[in-house]
A and B are shown apart, each in its own frame.
Chain A
Amino acid sequence: MTRDQAPERTGAEILLEALVREGVDTIFGYPGGANLPIYQHLPEFPNLKHVLVRHEQGAAHMADGYSRASRRVGVCFATSGPGALNLTTGLATAFMDSVPLVAITGQVPTAMVGRDAFQESDVIGVSMPITKHSYLVTDVKDIAKTVKEAFYVARTGRPGPVLIDLPRDLQQKMGPWVFPDTIGIPWYHPVSRPDPAAVAAAARALTRAKRPVILAGHGVLLSAGEEALLKVAEKQGIPVGTTLLGVGAFPVQHPLALHLTGFMGTGWNLNAVIECDCLMMIGMRVDDRVTAKLDGFAPNCETFIHIDIDPSEHGKNVRPQISIVADAREALEALERELPEQPYRTDWLLQIDRWREEHPLRAKIANSWLQPQEVLIEMYKHAKSEAIVVADVGQNQIWAALWWNYDKPGLFINSGGSGTMGFAFPAAVGAKFARPEKTVFCVTGEGGFVMTMQELSTAVEHKVDVKIVILNNASLGMVRQFQDSFYGGVRSAVDLSVMPDFVKLADAFGLPGYRARTVAETRDVLAKAMAHKGPVLIDFVIDPEANVYPIIPLGKQLKDFIEEPLSA
């Protein structure tokens, strides 16, 4: 169909139709003056389910959780000015973790842009450093192609959030409905295929190595590379650890699993990284939370191999000898073909087993308090590795990452790069929309939970079956632990003993709320929560002095990790 024959529709309809074409089924959003034409036409699109959030930050996190749980592009709407600005924390969170989102913000009418109109803010300017790309649409004819391009950019290469700022007058203006077949940025060619020579070099280096280790990051999950990773690891018996965002890329219970690496990684993982002679890092940024003090990161490693789709990540922190710029899955598949079978390196694997025995994950259970690990263990009994766990930020995040046997991708979701408190609950709601058949737990501290708890109302409205697990230690636990350990023991501005009664709060929002103080109560309330269909909240009153271990003191090296003190 040519432009002239195309039926005329309003910009809002063109936008919504383009979203349908992109396969969108769920939108998390909030209306306001600058996007009302979109909302006027929304009911005409029954295939687009709109979820009215209670704060725009919730919309961005829900779209994010939706995307991480499904590997589809998440979509959120907001109005201009304050609406769009409320999205920014969510956009930054998605940007740091390479999550594909498309955010569509209303903007004041074109003629008013730049005149400090009511609810005008420079959303393109504000969002530039926290989006992969952004568009200010200036012509109704550009709306469809901008949507198409935005989705393409969001999900290809290294994924990320993309923002479309759409002035209100264009939403109302008539224009031709034409959905383009091609994308107008022919120079944008994210590399995905690995260079065969580099792959061959990596295969040789791994084969030659006496003590190889693989670390896997979010890129493995984003590219669906987990199966290829398993094959590579099993072919030569190479142990595999993951970053916080890579949790799920390799089954935790696999004999070759090293579990979590980095700042709060397991002792056997950190020892393996310290002693390895060849380290292959896949789909990860190798940031400071992974390396700790740089000169103590893999000090015995002779060959660093880095696989990442983003060329700028190569050598940013650690200079690799072998660098493969490629999609993680494609690189791993190529590597698997290239890698010869060879007998497992028994000495190395036995050494790792010894470290695993010497440095197990430990939790104290000797006092009268409920321990967070006990809560997670009881939860795991109900869910095994079939549930999705969305963790917030702080101690709860690390406990949830460590004390669970994740064996599939998309089952552990957290804000790793940005560390955004308040992420978990809305992200869990988004994850449940994406995968309604899954049990979804939101594991959160009471501090982070109250940052976005207004979404309880959204969850109740849509009967979103998220089991909210508050690990309530009556303080900003992680900060308290840092103050105790690294800031002279001065506990400053971390006390949260004055907080709402969460059971009553749940009641006020219209969902069941429970409290547990012991393991027996934990079992009881979990059974009730699992039986309930719809959102449910449990306030677990845990040991206020419980700490996260292992942990590497700030500014120290991997080898300086501290473990949970043995109970007396």
Chain B
Amino acid sequence: MSEGRVLSALVANRPGVLNRVSGLIRRRGFNIENLTVGPTLDHSISRMTIVVNVGAAPADQAVRQLAKLIDVVDVRDITDEERVECELMLIRIENAAQRRGALVDRAGPNARVVAEVEDVVILAVNGTGDELDHMLERLRGFDVKGIARTGIVSMMVDETHPHAVPHWARLAERDGEHPEETEVMSIL
């Protein structure tokens, strides 16, 4: 796996939010290694898992800049938290018909054959980023002609952490109201 930091963000499901997030990361000079986005239980909120390469800079700058986006509900660096991660990969193998048995054996229980047309087998595998890398290693002797990877999704194990619970429960604790605005109006 790379040196990237794993950021988990809950974002408002509004138009352009992906553009805002990716644009900001680029503008601030960080590199995106992978970015996934998908719905949560609350359809107004999506979850993004972003792996950024921040180079020598600490990831907190990236996190704080992301947190400023109005459409970002919450964002955390979860790299070092207790967490699970998962990625899906499709692998296209040619000249597979004769060695199908060996192929399935070698791929192991994590892989499923999802398509088989003439001499071509397509496997679907899930696992951590590292496991998928290893899978490709293991299939070296086969005629692997193409892959498609989703990029990782990740989730913290500790459900009591505010970031891990669905956002609306956490927001309810803040009783939904906006704080009194500090009156700064007149300059006179």
A residues adjacent to B (C-beta < 8 A) = 69-72, 124-125, 128-129, 132-133, 136, 138, 152-153, 155-156, 158, 182-183, 185-189, 192, 222-224, 310-312, 314-316, 327, 329-330, 409-410, 435
Expressed in whole angstroms, the Cα–Cα distance for A122 and B27 within the complex equals 18
Distance from A419 Cβ to chain B, minimum over Cβ atoms (Å): 19
Q: Which of B12-20, B77-85, B121-129 contacts A (4 or more CB under 8 A)?
A: B12-20
B61 x A410 contact (CB < 8 A): no
Q: When A185-B12, A187-B73 are in contact, do A330 and B182 touch as well, CB less than 8 Å? A: yes
Distance from A178 Cβ to chain B, minimum over Cβ atoms (Å): 19
B19 x A129 contact (CB < 8 A): no
8 pairs, A vs B, C-beta closer than 8 Å: A128-B23, A129-B27, A133-B69, A186-B174, A187-B12, A187-B74, A189-B179, A224-B184
B residues adjacent to A (C-beta < 8 A) = 12, 15-16, 19-20, 23-24, 27, 60-61, 64-65, 67-71, 73-74, 167, 171, 174, 176-179, 181-182, 184-187
B171 x A223 contact (CB < 8 A): no
- Which of A125, A186, A310 has most B Cβ within 10 Å? A186
B184 x A71 contact (CB < 8 A): yes
A72 x B185 contact (CB < 8 A): yes
CB-CB under 8 A from B69, the residues of chain A are 133
Chain B, residue nearest A69 (CB): B187
CB-CB under 8 A from B184, the residues of chain A are 71, 155, 222-224, 329
A128 x B20 contact (CB < 8 A): yes
CB-CB under 8 A from B64, the residues of chain A are 311-312, 314
B27 x A124 contact (CB < 8 A): no
Given contacts A192-B182, A435-B187, 6 further A-B contacts (CB under 8 A): A129-B27, A136-B16, A182-B177, A187-B73, A223-B182, A329-B182
Expressed in whole angstroms, the Cα–Cα distance for A152 and B23 within the complex equals 24
Expressed in whole angstroms, the Cα–Cα distance for A284 and B23 within the complex equals 25
Expressed in whole angstroms, the Cα–Cα distance for A90 and B178 within the complex equals 30
B19 x A128 contact (CB < 8 A): yes
Chain A, residue nearest B62 (CB): A312
CB-CB under 8 A from A124, the residues of chain B are 16
Instruction: List the 6 shortest-distance A-B pairs measured between CB atoms, nearest first.
Output: A312-B64, A187-B73, A133-B70, A410-B187, A224-B184, A311-B64
Q: When A186-B171, A311-B64 are in contact, do A70 and B186 touch as well, CB less than 8 Å? A: yes
Distance from B59 Cβ to chain A, minimum over Cβ atoms (Å): 12
CB-CB under 8 A from A128, the residues of chain B are 16, 19-20, 23
Expressed in whole angstroms, the Cα–Cα distance for A481 and B12 within the complex equals 49
> Given A138, A182, A188, which contacts B70 in the complex, CB threshold below 8 Å?
A188
Chain A, residue nearest B64 (CB): A312
B16 x A192 contact (CB < 8 A): no
> Given B12, B19, B70, B176, which contacts A153 in the complex, CB threshold below 8 Å?
B70
CB-CB under 8 A from B68, the residues of chain A are 158, 310-312
Chain B, residue nearest A408 (CB): B187
CB-CB under 8 A from A435, the residues of chain B are 187
Distance from B170 Cβ to chain A, minimum over Cβ atoms (Å): 9
CB-CB under 8 A from B186, the residues of chain A are 70-71
CB-CB under 8 A from B15, the residues of chain A are 136, 138
Chain B, residue nearest A224 (CB): B184
Q: When A125-B19, A136-B15, A312-B68 are in contact, do A192 and B27 touch as well, CB less than 8 Å? A: no
A316 x B61 contact (CB < 8 A): yes
Expressed in whole angstroms, the Cα–Cα distance for A187 and B12 within the complex equals 10
Expressed in whole angstroms, the Cα–Cα distance for A132 and B72 within the complex equals 13
Expressed in whole angstroms, the Cα–Cα distance for A315 and B63 within the complex equals 13
CB-CB under 8 A from A125, the residues of chain B are 19
CB-CB under 8 A from A152, the residues of chain B are 178
Expressed in whole angstroms, the Cα–Cα distance for A521 and B155 within the complex equals 74
Expressed in whole angstroms, the Cα–Cα distance for A516 and B71 within the complex equals 54
CB-CB under 8 A from B70, the residues of chain A are 132-133, 153, 185, 188
Distance from B130 Cβ to chain A, minimum over Cβ atoms (Å): 32
Expressed in whole angstroms, the Cα–Cα distance for A64 and B174 within the complex equals 34
> Given A71, A156, A185, A189, which contacts B187 in the complex, CB threshold below 8 Å?
A71
B178 x A183 contact (CB < 8 A): yes
Distance from A141 Cβ to chain B, minimum over Cβ atoms (Å): 15
Distance from A290 Cβ to chain B, minimum over Cβ atoms (Å): 19
Expressed in whole angstroms, the Cα–Cα distance for A222 and B182 within the complex equals 11
> Given B23, B65, B182, which contacts A312 in the complex, CB threshold below 8 Å?
B65
Chain B, residue nearest A128 (CB): B23
Q: When A71-B187, A310-B68, A410-B187 are in contact, do A192 and B74 touch as well, CB less than 8 Å? A: no
CB-CB under 8 A from A314, the residues of chain B are 64
Expressed in whole angstroms, the Cα–Cα distance for A435 and B186 within the complex equals 10
Chain A, residue nearest B70 (CB): A133
A156 x B181 contact (CB < 8 A): yes
- Which of A133, A136, A312 has most B Cβ within 10 Å? A312
Chain A, residue nearest B12 (CB): A185
Distance from B85 Cβ to chain A, minimum over Cβ atoms (Å): 25
A311 x B187 contact (CB < 8 A): no
Chain B, residue nearest A185 (CB): B70
Expressed in whole angstroms, the Cα–Cα distance for A409 and B186 within the complex equals 11
